Amino acid sequence: MNSQHPTTFTPDARFLLGLSQLTLSLAGELTETIGDMHGEIRRSTPLGLLPESTSIARRVYGLLGKGFEVPGQLLSRVGQRVAPREVDTTTLNVQAAINGVFGDLLVRQDNPLAFSSSLYGDTPRRDQPLVLFAHGLCLHERGWQRPVHLAFANELRKQGYAVGYLRYNSGLPIAENGRLYATLLEEIEASQILLVGHSMGGLISRSALHQAREAGMRFPERVTHLATLGSPHHGADAERIGNYSNRLLTVSRWSAPLTRLGNLRSAAIHDLRFGSLLHSDRERAGDLLHTHDPREHIPAPEDVAHYYLGATRSPDNSSRKLRSDLLVMPHSALAEDYPGTEAVTRELLYGLDHMQLMWDQQVYEKLGRWLGIV
């Protein structure tokens, strides 16, 4: 596995080239969107009586939009030829956020900002168990590096476990990241594999295990535990609200072109609408603006111990309706009423938010007791 060491804030050439390429791409999308809106407005006003003027305007906006493509392609070629180097944590934070929001676009355009799926941390021996942590949307593997987590990881190592971390492009479809994760896991020679995922990382872990079993891979035989921390097993309300807002734009022909910009958010964010784990879920959805739940439910395998830990900002259970952890509702984090999860161990922590699930002492005390290793 790879190792990373923070450095001072110095964005490298690949980062700056990738950021410039993305800016040009988004400028092109914005220009063409404005052109579509202009055309709709002209067609619905007296000026629209001059169809040739609308046609000319459309061509002008189209040319302006396409004009951003060539320099973007050149930047892509240059960026791919620049040798990558270790970057500081601040730069990595920005890059991770961009991956979460535009990750699939980065891949389509060969943008050097796109993360590849990689494992960091310890390289386990064949006779050594491995605990692997997977981060969530817009994050990266260094996001775990807080004192409480580091103490937990050190205790694991004292007891003979190797500790590893996944970095991935969190804007790709959850199913695709699951497939890539499974490919990495298949190469690991650890005697036992324990998967822990925060937020989207938990969904990717579930998807990876399911896809690997379907493909007849070997590593699922060594997966004994799978824990999720605040993972939206039933999806996230924030994405559903965003989708409804985007759908409202289609009510007016003047605002409908703006849905193009709203739909630029990554495939992974779309998947968070209902917590879709499979490529077939996306196919069943039919369109980007769907409001129906297209998922095929994936039961928790009986031979793998599952632990779903959720959080609520409510201080106790006296409230009639528990609040979210800022991003995920308790019923989603606990996968309540999810078929095939009757044997799952579920726990809810009070007075915590979504990000604290990565760093809070209570989380690691409960996780350690459940795993039976700390």
Q: CB under 8 Å to 122, separation ≥6 — which residues?
A: 1, 130, 157, 162, 163, 164
The residues with which 311 forms a beta bridge, in sequence order, are 349
To the nearest 10°, report the CA torsion of 163, 183, 190, 209: 80
- CA distance linking residue 191 with residue 177, whole number of Å: 24
Question: What is residue 73's predicted lDDT score, i.e. its pLDDT?
Answer: 56
Which 8-state DSSP code applies to residue 48? G
Q: Please tell me the pTM assigned to this model.
A: 0.86
Are 128 and 160 contacting, i.e. CB atoms less than 8 angstroms apart?
yes
Q: 200-215 vs 174-186: helix axis angle to the nearest 10?
A: 60
Question: What is residue 352's predicted lDDT score, i.e. its pLDDT?
Answer: 97
Q: What are phi and psi of 132, to 5 degrees?
A: -115, 130
- CA distance linking residue 99 with residue 15, whole number of Å: 12
For residue 317, give Cα distances in angstroms to 58, 265, 295, 321: 57, 35, 30, 9
- CA distance linking residue 235 with residue 268, whole number of Å: 11
The residues with which 193 forms a beta bridge, in sequence order, are 130, 223
Tokens describing residue 214: 């379907």
Tokens describing residue 11: 């964005």
- CA distance linking residue 250 with residue 288, whole number of Å: 13
Residue showing tokens 């964010």: 269
Sign of CA dihedral 260, 266, 272, 277: positive
- CA distance linking residue 92 with residue 97, whole number of Å: 9
Question: What is residue 282's predicted lDDT score, i.e. its pLDDT?
Answer: 83
Amino acid at 15: F
Pairing of strands 118-121, 162-167: antiparallel
Question: What is residue 250's predicted lDDT score, i.e. its pLDDT?
Answer: 67
Tokens describing residue 112: 């050097």
- CA distance linking residue 167 with residue 1, whole number of Å: 11
Q: Could you list the mean pLDDT of each consecutive 10-residue stretch along the chain, which spans 374 residues? A: 53 77 76 62 56 52 48 53 72 94 93 95 96 97 97 96 98 98 97 98 98 98 98 93 71 62 84 94 83 92 97 90 94 97 97 97 97 82
- CA distance linking residue 117 with residue 353, whole number of Å: 27
